[in-house]
Structure formats: structure tokens, C-alpha cells
Structure 1
Amino acid sequence: MLARTHTRTHPVLRGGVDGRLPWWALALPTLAFVALLALILNPADAHATTAEPGITHLLERAQQFITR
């Protein structure tokens, strides 16, 4: 029994990918770039946390355990 092959009804682009992008494919990288650029231009707004992170505390405990 022969299987019927489907032919394409629209031309294929060179890359084989649709040429249109969704709106968020450009908006999200642009937003991230603007946010990082703002931090670079004004580093005073980038505050470090004052509380000790949990992973740092865990690594210090592991180091103390290993050195004993």
C-alpha cells in the first residue's frame, strides 16, 4: 500500500524557519539589555544584600567540617 506524500503549499525560507518573530522575542532581550545598561551607568542603584546568603553559610560549614 502506498502512502501519500504531502506537498508544501508555501515556499520554504532559506533557513527553514518562519521569518516572523513573536513580540516577546524582541521585547524581553531589549528589556534585559536596558536593565543591565542602567546598572552599568549608575552602579549606586545596585545594592548588595546585607544578610548572609544561605549558600555561603553552608559552604563555610562544609569547609570547617573538612578541615577538622
Structure 2
Amino acid sequence: MSARTHTRHHPAAPGGVDTRLPWWALTLPALAFATLFVLLLNPSHAQAATADPALTQLLQRVQELLAR
């Protein structure tokens, strides 16, 4: 038994599919891209680049202890 196909009673939009995105659907990815691009241009602004040497040594010691 074949199923009936549904036909449109309204003509399709002249420009194709009429879909509206919320404002954040374009803003958030653009903001994330811009943030990463700025960090790429000037990595000294990244928090991890200016870590305290004592903290770095502590983390290395913890890693050595866990590796045993």
C-alpha cells in the first residue's frame, strides 16, 4: 500500500527557505573567533603564558610523583 504525498497549498518563498536564526547563533561564534584570533596575534595576553614559575615547578613535581 503506498502512502499519499502531501502537496503544498501555498507557493514556496521566492528566495528559497525562509529561516530566521536567533541573534546569538551568529554572534557567539563570531565572538569566539575574534577572541581566538586576538590571542593568536598577541599570545602574551593568554593567562597560561604568564604562569608563575613556582606553580609550574609544583605541577611538574606532582606529575613526577604520579608517574612513579
TM score, norm. by length of structure 2: 0.50
Residue 43 of structure 1 is matched in structure 2 by 43
Residue 4 of structure 1 is matched in structure 2 by none
Shift of 1:20: 0.7
Residue 30 of structure 1 is matched in structure 2 by 30
CA 1:22/1:41 → structure 2, altered by over 3 Å: closer, same or farther? same
Shift of 1:47: 2.8
- Please list every run of 5 or more consecutive structure 2 residues that lacks an aligned counterpart in the other structure: 1-6
RMSD: 3.4
AA paired with 1:30?
Answer: A
- Please list every run of 5 or more consecutive structure 1 residues that lacks an aligned counterpart in the other structure: 1-6
Identity of aligned residues (%): 46
AA paired with 2:35?
Answer: A
1:1-68 superposed matches below 5 A: 11=12, 19-48=19-48, 49=51, 50=55, 52=59, 57=63, 60-61=65-66, 63-64=67-68
Which structure has more helix as a fraction of its residues?
Answer: 2
AA paired with 1:22?
Answer: P
